[in-house]
Structures are given as C-alpha cells and as structure tokens.
C-alpha cells in the first residue's frame, strides 16, 4: 500500500511540477486551484521548515516524496522536487462529511520545487478551489480555517 501511495504521489508531483514550471513570479499566486509562494530556501530546507511547523501544530506527516531522487534512480534528471503529505482527521473528516469526494484531495499536500528560473516555490491546493471542485456546501467555517492554516504553514516554511 505504501509503495502504491509513493508511486501515486510521484506521478502526481511530476505532473504538478511540469505544470507549475511556468510560474516565474515571486509573489503568492492562485492559478488553476493552486496557491504558490516563493521560498528563499532550498527545496529540502523549505520542506524541513514545513515539517517542523506542521509537527509543532500536531499535524500527522504521512509521506515525504523526493521526486528528483526517484528520477535519478530511473536514469532521468529532474530539478529538486519534493512533496509533503500531511493532515489532521479532526479537520479533514468534517470536509468529507460535507462532500465525500473531497477525500481524493486529502490528506493535504504541499509541493516544493526549483523552477527553471532557479527560484524555489511552495505550492498547495487552494481550499476555495476545492469548495468549487467538490461543490462543498455548509462547510465555509472549516474551509476558512483550513485556508488560514495552510497559508500560515506556507508563510512559516518560506520565512527568511
């Protein structure tokens, strides 16, 4: 099961990283359901900081996938690209109770990657996009809480 999850996350991250390679701005962006912020740190350091803040808030870390390492193992090249999968059932379950299909987007994920421009970016799903994607109704307070938390996590991970 763990190998299947790693393969899934690897494929998802390759697609996400290829798609998001078009971002060149250092400011926060919301495009196609993602929020992206620039990090002054390396990919690994950004996710190390993210892991520390998540663990300090009692979040469960499910997986950290290093896709550049995976690519190298397959004889391919990929700029630094890592995904962190994390969550908290106390927050995710109420969202699934509102719209069970949101489970496909949970647990939460944050992707850190080095763009073609040499900058490092941290991206994650915009909870308001998930609201629209899954037609979530009656869960605005939970979605707002998730949006605030994810924004704070990203800010902490990318702080100087």
* CATH code assigned at 28: 3.30.310.70
pLDDT of residue 35: 96
Q: Which residues pair with 60 in a beta bridge?
A: 87
CA distance 125 to 110: 8
pLDDT of residue 31: 66
The full 3-state SS of the chain, as one line of letters, equals CHHHHHHHHHHHHHHHHHHHCCCCCCCCEEECCEEEEEECCCHHHHHHHHHHHHHHCCCEEEEEEEHHHHHHHCCCCCCCEEEEEEECHHHHHHHHHHCHHHHHHCCEEEEEEECCCCCEEEEEECHHHHHHHCCCCCCHHHHHHHHHHHHHHHHHHCCC
- Judge whether 122 and 37 are in contact, CB under 8 Å: yes
pLDDT in tens, 83-136: 999 999 999 999 999 999 999 999 999 999 999 999 999 999 999 999 999 999
pLDDT in tens, 125-159: 999 999 999 999 999 999 999 999 999 999 999 99
Query: How many distinct structural domains can be found in the chain?
Result: 1
pLDDT in tens, 15-70: 343 333 333 333 444 468 999 999 999 999 999 999 999 999 999 999 999 999 99
pTM recorded for the entire structure: 0.81
Q: Which domain holds residue 127?
A: 2-157
pLDDT of residue 32: 86
79 pLDDT band, cuts 50/70/90, is very high
Closest to 112 in 3D by CA, of 57, 38, 59:
38
């Amino acid at each position: 099961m763990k190998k299947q999850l790693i393969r899934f996350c690897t494929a998802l991250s390759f697609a996400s990283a290829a798609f998001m390679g078009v971002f060149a701005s250092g400011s926060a962006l919301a495009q196609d359901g993602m929020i992206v912020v620039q990090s002054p740190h390396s990919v690994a350091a950004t996710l190390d900081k993210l892991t520390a803040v998540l663990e300090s808030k009692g979040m469960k870390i499910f997986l950290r996938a290093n896709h550049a390492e995976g690519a190298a193992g397959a004889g391919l090249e990929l700029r630094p690209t890592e995904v962190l999968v994390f969550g908290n059932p106390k927050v995710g379950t109420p969202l699934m109770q509102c719209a069970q299909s949101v489970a496909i987007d949970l647990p939460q994920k944050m992707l850190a990657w080095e763009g073609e421009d040499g900058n490092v970016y941290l991206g994650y799903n915009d909870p308001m996009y998930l609201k629209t994607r899954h037609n979530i109704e009656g869960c605005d307070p939970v979605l707002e809480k998730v949006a605030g938390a994810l924004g704070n996590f990203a800010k902490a991970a990318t702080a100087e």
